[in-house]
Amino acid sequence: MVQRELNQRLREARKHHKDIIEQTFMSMDSKKLWDSMKAITNMNTTKKRLTTDDDLGKANELNDFFLRFENHDFSVESNNVMGTILTDTSFITK
């Protein structure tokens, strides 16, 4: 008995919520529409600043990660790829 009443009230609440959303979409109020879209998608409009306990240490860790690309000479790999591209004409169809 209680479960049946609960299910009925849930159906009514879902229908009411659906009707409200449909009315919002049917209205010509674009601000209300976008506010509803943000609420539906749970879009957070405030930007949160990412912080760490050791900002300098994190900065150095990121620098080390990205500097590894500058420490390696990619000219050999680049020349190999370019040579393959220039000599391989099998992809060209006549």
Task: Please tell me the total count of domains within the chain.
Answer: 2
* Residue 73, domain extent: 51-89
- 85 and 62 within one domain: yes
Instruction: Kindly report whether the global pTM for this prediction surpasses the value 0.75.
Output: no
- 31 and 56 within one domain: no
- 2 and 36 within one domain: yes
Q: How far from 13 is each of 20, 44, 56, 70, CA to CA, in Å?
A: 11, 25, 51, 59
Q: Mind listing the pLDDT tens digit of every residue in the chain (94 residues)?
A: 889 999 999 999 999 988 887 887 788 788 888 887 787 787 766 666 767 677 888 888 888 888 877 767 777 777 777 777 766 666 565 5
**Does 94 map to a domain?**
no
Distance of CA 12 to the CA centre of its chain: 34
- 55 and 38 within one domain: no
- 34 and 55 within one domain: no
